[in-house]
Amino acid sequence: MFKPIHGGKKILIDGNDGCTPYECWLPPVGYGSHADTGEVVKTDVIKRSQIKSKQYWERQPLPADWEKRVEAERRMKDIDPDYTDPELEDIRLREIRRIIYGVWFYNNGEPVYITGQHYMLLNYWKFQGKYFDYREPNRDYYYVLQYCIEDPNCLGLIEITKRKEGKTARSGLFLYHYIFRTEAMHGGIQSKTDGDAAEVFQKAVIAPWRKLPEFLRPIFDRSAGDSPSKELRLFNTSQKGRKKNTEDAALESFIDYKPAKPSAYDGPELHRYVSDEAGKLEGHSIADRHDVVMFCSEVDGKYIGKQLYTTTVEEMENGGAEFQKLVKNSNRDKRDKNGRTNSGLYTYFLPAYKTMYWDENGNVGFNKYGKPDEVKARKYFMNRRAALQNNTRNLASFIRKNPFTLDESFWIDGDQCLYDSGLLNEQLGIINIAENIIERGNFVWLNGERDTKVIWVKDKHGHWEICWNFKNEGESNNISRIGNLFRPGNTHRFVAGADTFSHSVVKDSRRSDGAMFVKMKYDAASIDPYNDAFVCSYRHRAPSTDIQYEDMLKTSVFFGCLILFESNKNNWKDYFIHRGYEAFLMKLNGYDDYGIPGNQKTHQQLAEVTEGYILNSIKKVFFRTLINDWLQFDLNNTTAYDSAMAAGYTLIADNRLLYNKPQSPLISLEEYGFRKTAIS
């Protein structure tokens, strides 16, 4: 699949992850590709009928008298250990070859290749009492999975689907398909909780394994019976500390499961690993866990194992937000100089409209050729969405559970969002697929000389993002200077707000960042599409508070605007005054000093002004981090949402809100010694 195949055919499969499609190579018809190495050899072509319309996948069962003949063969082996039933042996060899190299079958007149692992799923992997049907999305999934297995720079695959798509069963087979035919290998499972890992082990590995024919169940340790509860050991059975006498050597490979905590697999090599429901991890960090297990499958810079992460993403606070970062770090179009993604993983997302099938009578089921009816499915889901249009909270929940795009799979449930999640998720989806709406870079002093001119320098690793810039360079840095004192000149056009970092940590043990936004003020006469929009975003954990304040100062100078800080942290005031930029600090009506107090009342009014802006102007928000913060914003844990707080302070600054501070009673002029005079 990964390497070009002579005489084969290259097909493109969209991972639906926003990246370049996977280029998968199919072997020529009648040939198969080895499940581990990609080696090409002849394999079988199955055709159930010569009539085109009657050609489709049909499970290839073993002969009806298989068990009886196997038992007869065993009895003969008691007499002659070298005896094998030649017909049974031919079938075994044929099936093993198919399981390793795959097969072709005719489907409505077209030859279709299915990989060895896919063949084993369809023909032998009985899950919850049923065998799998052939479906085109599963075919494409196994092409991509095989691509990942063969790619030396790929650690494995992240699979994201809606519920009830068979991902748990496929993950069990992913482990077993390699472990059962390879010596001294280790397969491992973790899930969202300790108990879930045990359940996956039993449901997705042990239960299907027990239904396999004898030639697909190599020697195993029988000391735990035919239904081991903790690990499947392909070892000779030990009796009182000694191995049972046998002519055959066991593979000495095994599959186990571990608790959900990140350090559970710290140490042993993992040749196959499954992270079940990786987007729902409870009480632990998926990032921390991945940092542990990824090195269990790597030795001296070479991947010695492959990993599979599966999930349907649930509430963001239960692991979805961190998992989303893992997905972003698995972008195949963004690689390091070693040719690898930051996580080592790739991503495959299956849209909900590719998961529904209808039979010939229009009933929900599946097309006998395994084709999804995407038109009907889209119509079905869009009708459900339309019915929820007036309930944006429930709509967000439905879309996340039945996503059309990868971004939709991370929509926040309405019940979990303080603001209008429908509007936020919709705008996030728009900007996630839009191109060139954001530019990343840094604001720096010209020639490195302070108090000269701030310039914008593009840098994909920069700490700032802008969606708007001055058309003419001369329009920026609109400030005046008297001696060593500076004054902003664009206060009528722009305003800024900042949330500075502290040295404390938030609930999930992350250190907070410093954040700042610049907003273009509303101008009724302006036709600028960014009128009333946030135009600049800064979010960074600077090495020191002074560097942070200098970053914010440079931003204010470039736009020539006032900036509002939270007054509870007042080092910024001393810094700006010492640098000569006191005139850039904002003082709200009703307050005697610069800044705004960071208390519960302020946070409540910040949330109110944010809600109003979202309802009226969400289409003018182009910063992903800000929308993500708004989607997850929690008034009881504001320190975790730096961007949301900085944007809120910016909106307060823009409105110069009066916070009902108790005012002193008015004092008449007479009390200051002035006399009233008549106007002649």
The pLDDT tens digits of the residues spanning 433-463 come to: 677 899 999 999 999 999 999 999 999 889 9
DSSP state of 206: I
Higher pLDDT pick, 629 / 241 = 629
Residue 664's CB is within 10 A of a number of other CB atoms, namely 5
Residue 666: pLDDT band with limits 50, 70, 90: very low
Q: How far is CA 165 from the centre of its chain?
A: 18
Q: What is the pLDDT of residues 531-545, one digit of tens each?
A: 999 999 999 988 898
Give the residue from 585, 154, 79, 128 showing the smallest Cα distance to 335: 154
> Cα separation of 266 and 264, whole Å?
6
DSSP string, 612-662: HHHHHHGGG---HHHHHHHHH--TT-GGG-HHHHHHHHHHHHHHT----PP
Give the residue from 374, 203, 197 showing the smallest Cα distance to 293: 197
Q: What is the pLDDT of residues 48-94, one digit of tens each?
A: 999 999 999 999 999 999 999 999 999 999 999 999 999 999 999 99
Residue 658: pLDDT band with limits 50, 70, 90: very low
Average pLDDT over residues 113-131: 96
Residue 483 burial (CB < 10 Å; 0-12/13-18/19+)?
A: exposed
pLDDT higher than threshold 80 for residue 481: yes
Question: Quick check: helix, strand or coil at residue 152?
Answer: coil
Q: How many helices and strands, by DSSP H and E, does the chain display? A: 17, 29
- What's the pLDDT at 505? 41
Q: What is the pLDDT of residues 143-172, one digit of tens each?
A: 999 999 999 999 999 999 887 788 999 999
- What's the pLDDT at 162? 83
Residue 501: pLDDT band with limits 50, 70, 90: confident
| Contact yes or no for 652/496 (Cβ under 8 A) | no
Beta strand 357-358 with 364-365 is antiparallel
Average pLDDT over residues 562-578: 90
- What's the pLDDT at 166? 86
Task: Using a pLDDT cut of 90, give the percent of the chain over it.
Answer: 67
Q: What is the pLDDT of residues 289-302, one digit of tens each?
A: 999 999 999 999 99
DSSP state of 532: T
- What's the pLDDT at 585? 96
What's the whole-number average pLDDT of the chain?
88
- What's the pLDDT at 640? 82
pLDDT higher than threshold 80 for residue 320: no
- What's the pLDDT at 181? 95
Higher pLDDT pick, 359 / 382 = 382
- The pTM of this model reads 0.74
Question: Quick check: helix, strand or coil at residue 335?
Answer: coil
